[in-house]
Amino acid sequence: MRALPLDFREASRLEESNWSDWRWQARHAATNLQALDKALTLTDAERVGATRAMAAGLPISITPYYLALCDPANPDCPVRLQCIPRAEEAIAVEGDLRDPLGEEAHEVAPHLIQRYPDRVLLLATDRCGVYCRFCTRSRLVGDGGGARSMAVLEPAFAWIEAHPEIRDVIVSGGDPCIMSTDRLARLLRRIGAIDHVDYVRLATRAPVTLPQRITEELCSAIRESHEATWIMTHFNHPKELTDEARTACARLADAGLPVMNQTVLLRGVNDDANTLEALFRGLVRSRVRPYYLLQMDPVGGTGHLRTPLRRGVELMAALQGRVSGIALPKLIVDTPGGLGKVPVGPNYLVSEDRGVTVLETFRGDLVEYYDPPEL
């Protein structure tokens, strides 16, 4: 499926070079109620949500490409649910947190977060092509700072240099791929100059929301700046796997950049087994490894999009044995407060007694497994 330009942009009259230009896409992002009104038949709840977002909430920014994936007449469209504000964002529910992963408490240098012994998270920018309504960093994205300069990030680089136990740097934001190619390349080269860092993870939703950004120039710059770079992205629904998105993923893979996907489990978007199966199979066909199925973080104002934890467990049970292991991610809860990720899932271990373990297969069969004798 190819994302079709919206009539309200009269994009069918535009030269293809405009629609395919990521800078044009970024410049023409919908950022207010008026732009949404021209593209979609908004509900009252969406109007209230957009008005609130413009005044004080998580900002609105939706590239024309991603907005074109929204069903203009269906407010329950799985893409629309991810990017259009709703009145429910003003509703607080028990467990809501402003900073659900405790990042501010784990900041070890400006814009640098450490929650695990061997890795750090570098927040390189606060900008994204699309501000997802379930964003775990809604407290800071789009706050006006933009991309951090190398001078501003230097204390973070110095901290990493002083801590040889750090082997993995996750570059996130915001979306670092919204930065210029030159700025991103300089950042990656600076990390690459730190000998004990084995690899970099580049967290970006550009393949999903702005695939025009994934140019051959960008892929080459990333690979040349730090050859051990992994791309971490977020496809949440099969509708997002357009021809443009698949082309972007192919460019990354062809450049030697492995692509991993972290799907966020979202109510009404992908909380059924058929949708997830189609998504995971489509990702593998696109040379993208389904890595995590993430229980949504309890960020304030997102209760209407979160699922009960048991739903994720049920879905993993439904998918076990139904799709290949290469297409089956781990179900992960990133525990509130920043205490780390916990894998959860169905319990296939029925009992253990005197070296005999009873296991339940995905078909429901009970099988005995005998431990070897102790030496």
Catalytic (active-site) positions: 115-116, 119, 128, 132, 135, 137, 297, 334, 341
Q: Give the separation between CA 375 and CA 353, rounded to whole angstroms.
A: 18
SS3 percent helix, strand, coil of the chain, rounded to 5, is 35, 20, 45
- From the list 186, 168, 184, the residue with the least C-alpha distance to 176 is 184
Structure tokens at 170: 């996750």
Kind of pairing between the strands at 119-123 and 168-172 = parallel
Kind of pairing between the strands at 349-353 and 341-344 = unpaired
Strand partners, 80: none
Q: Give the separation between CA 155 and CA 111, rounded to whole angstroms.
A: 9
Cβ contacts of residue 190 below 8 Å, gap of 6+? Answer: 150, 153, 157
Are 229 and 258 a contacting pair, CB within 8 Å?
no
Handedness of CA 180, 184, 185, 187 (dihedral sign): positive
Structure tokens at 288: 């993208």
Task: Please tell me whether the peptide bond between 174 and the residue prior to it is cis, using omega within 30 degrees of 0.
Answer: yes
